[in-house]
Structure 1
Amino acid sequence: MAKLLLSLHVLASVLFIGPVAVAVSMFPPRARAALAAGPDQASAAASVRLLHRITQVYALLGIAVPVMGVGTAQAMDILGQVWLIVSIVLTVLAAGALLLFVLPAQQATIDALDAADSARKDPEASEHTRAVGALRLLPMTAGVFNLLWAVVVVLMVVRPGSTTGA
């Protein structure tokens, strides 16, 4: 049973966390282009909306990863191991970065794009200013989010104290 749970956990992490990591990384440059775009604003805005939607949907699906991870750890009787506890803490931090920083900044950009006509006429419009401000920190928070997941993956592969020889 543990092997099945571990396989599902790894598969879910690849299928659900991978798209979030890519969408979060692609969003800032596409958003800057969409906010600055002239005539091709519609296609640039559409790609930004799609990346935001991918982030939202796959983040929700990504909840399955830690849930299956805890189930796997319980089946393998390793819940108390330090590397696993560190991984859980890093996962919570990554989820916090996504929920508290990345998604709100993306939403601010979407709001600014929705009000694009008024923002172009008035560059001091609140949504446009808020989106530009949020975009300043978004590449950093996206990087932190992805770095946290990379560390979790390394901990899962290396497993300090593992008896498997890996």
Structure 2
Amino acid sequence: MAKFLLSLHVLASVLFIGPVAVAVSMFPRRAQAALAAGAEGAEQVSAAASVRLLHRITQIYALLGIAVPLMGVGTAQVMGIIGQTWLIVSIVLTVLAAATLMLFVLPAQQAVVDALQSGAEPAGEDRTRATGGLRLLPMTAGVFNLLWAVVVVMMVIRPGSTTGA
């Protein structure tokens, strides 16, 4: 049963967290293109459509990604490793990644999407909010992806693990 749960946990992480990591990384560049003043009409429309799609992917797959830590905790309980330090650190890092996504990445993405819905050329408060969030978005996206990378490495290396890996 533990191998089956572990397989589901790994599969869910690849299928659900992977798309979020990619969408979060691609979003800032496409958002800058969509918000760029003087961009050609068709190019700007295409960039705006990409921005909306990337934001939607981030939202949906982030919601589906909740299954990853839930299955991870279930797998750890079945394997009897729930109290190991490396697992607790991984859980803390996962919580930090989720908080980064929910508190910084998604609101900044939403500000850009809102600005783009106000018309072909966002102006005023919408544009200010969008560009303000967009300034920090590459960094917060990087932090989100780095936290997940560290969790993956910890899952493979398992420092202090007694399983022989």
TM bin (shorter chain): over 0.9
Report how many residues are paired.
Answer: 162
Report the AA paired with residue 31 of structure 1: A
Q: Report the counterpart of residue 59 of structure 1 in structure 2.
A: 62
Q: CA RMSD in A?
A: 1.0
Report the AA paired with residue 20 of structure 1: V
Q: Report the counterpart of residue 4 of structure 2 in structure 1.
A: 4
* 1:116 match: secondary structure: coil
Q: Report the counterpart of residue 40 of structure 2 in structure 1.
A: 38
Report the AA paired with residue 73 of structure 1: A
Partners of 2:129 and 2:161 in 1: CA distance: 47
Shift of 1:162: 2.5
Shift of 1:164: 3.7
Q: Report the counterpart of residue 25 of structure 1 in structure 2.
A: 25
Report the AA paired with residue 76 of structure 2: A
Whether the 8 Å CA contact 2:84–2:161 is kept in 1: the answer is no
Partners of 1:3 and 1:35 in 2: CA distance: 47
Q: Report the counterpart of residue 157 of structure 1 in structure 2.
A: 156
1:20-41 Cα deviation digits (max 9, x unpaired): 0000000000000011133122
Whether the 8 Å CA contact 2:111–2:129 is kept in 1: the answer is yes
More displaced, 141-150 or 34-43? 34-43
Which structure 2 residue ranges, 5 or more long, are not aligned? none
* 1:161 match: secondary structure: coil
Report the AA paired with residue 67 of structure 2: A
* 1:16 match: secondary structure: helix
Whether the 8 Å CA contact 2:28–2:138 is kept in 1: the answer is yes
1:1-166 matches, cutoff 5 A: 1-36=1-36, 37-39=39-41, 40-117=43-120, 119=122, 122=123, 125-166=124-165
Partners of 1:165 and 1:69 in 2: CA distance: 20
Shift of 1:96: 0.2
Shift of 1:42: 1.2
TM-score (norm 2): 0.95
Shift of 1:165: 3.3
**Runs of at least 4 residues off by over 6 Å:** none
Shift of 1:160: 1.0
Which structure 1 residue ranges, 5 or more long, are not aligned? none
Partners of 1:66 and 1:55 in 2: CA distance: 17
Shift of 1:115: 1.1
Whether the 8 Å CA contact 2:86–2:158 is kept in 1: the answer is yes
